[in-house]
Chain A
Amino acid sequence: MTFLLPVGPANAAPSTWAATAMIATVVLASTTGEVLTAAAMKSIGDLDEIRARAGMKGAIRSVATCPLFFAGVFFLAVAFFALLFALNHLNLSLVAPAAASLTLVTNAIAGKIFLKENVDRRRWAAAVLVCIGVYLLAH
């Protein structure tokens, strides 16, 4: 994937544009993965109830036969490798807090648009507070 991004010679600090692109890839892939996984679990229904009715095997089968779940896991895997790639070029103290806190805000937006979740003022405030908090904690 190295040739896709203008990261320059090995060990040189990547440009701001390249760093932004790397972090954006992590954030977009993980948001897509989280939203697809959440949609999959909502379509399956309450796992505790399924487990009470059909046992552990039934619960595992209901998850393992849901295509939406595997689409979610695929994007989570893309996010994981994008994170490894970013860590190879950027400092952990930049990537980890930036990716973790931005993902919270993009997830609130995606949750509202795609999952039609009721993201009220309380949840917006929480997303922003937790986002700044994660940044301060990990920086």
Chain B
Amino acid sequence: MAHSSLTARQYLILAFVSICAPLGDTCLSRGMTHIPAIALAHPAALIAAVFTPWIATGIALLIAFFASYLTALSWADLTFVLPATALGNVLVALLSRFWLHETISLERWAGIALITLGVGFVAQGPSLTERPSAATEARVKQVAAR
């Protein structure tokens, strides 16, 4: 079944895709910088790190990301879903500006504007390449044969 326009539920899944990935990465990075350096000789320390709150949260978010990403790919084109994932970086930059009060350079504001513009472009178009179904193809051949 081809969806040329998305349902509210599908937009919700896309929002989940774009929010979970950068938040998960942020949690992982925060968790990994708050534990002592791990040497390659002690890989068991990496397993222990998985059970610290920040890293566990990050992993849970990344699993949620992957599940919603796979769901999105089952009904939308890859070239439609990927720009949506980039929108998450914009959300994180905005969060860091207004929640953590970090300063955002002019270059970064330009980056935010370009990503938002690009995602807006794609979102206006169809989400899935229309492919003729077997029935339509048979009908087209029938008409062509006449």
Contacts and interface: CB of A to CB of B under 8 A. Distances in A.
Contact of B121 (A34, A107, A119, A125): A125
- Name A's interface SS: helix
Contact of A126 (B73, B110, B113, B118): B118
B82 A107 contact: yes
Interface in B6-22: 9-10
Contact of A46 (B1, B86, B130): B1
B129 A129 contact: no
A1 interface: no
A115 interface: yes
A42 interface: yes
A126 B122 contact: yes
Contacts of B10: 48
Contact of A129 (B73, B79, B82, B115): B115
Interface string B101-117: 00000011011111111
A136 B82 contact: no
Interface in A50-77: 63
B115 A130 contact: yes
B26 to A, nearest CB: 13
Contacts of A37: 70, 73
Interface residues of B, number: 38
| Among A35, A107, A116, A137, residue most surrounded by chain B Cβ atoms (within 10 Å) | A137
A10 B90 CA distance: 36
| Among A42, A63, A104, residue most surrounded by chain B Cβ atoms (within 10 Å) | A42
Contacts of B125: 120, 122-123
A24 interface: no
B115 A47 contact: no
A108 interface: yes
A44 interface: yes
A132 interface: yes
B78 interface: yes
A54 to B, nearest CB: 14
B129 A116 contact: yes
A26 B61 CA distance: 23
Contacts of A133: 86, 110-118
B71 interface: yes
A29 B124 CA distance: 30
B89 A137 contact: yes
A22 interface: no
B56 interface: no
- What are the 9 tightest A-B residue pairs by CB atom distance, in nearest-first order? A136-B111, A133-B114, A137-B111, A129-B118, A133-B115, A130-B118, A41-B73, A38-B78, A126-B118
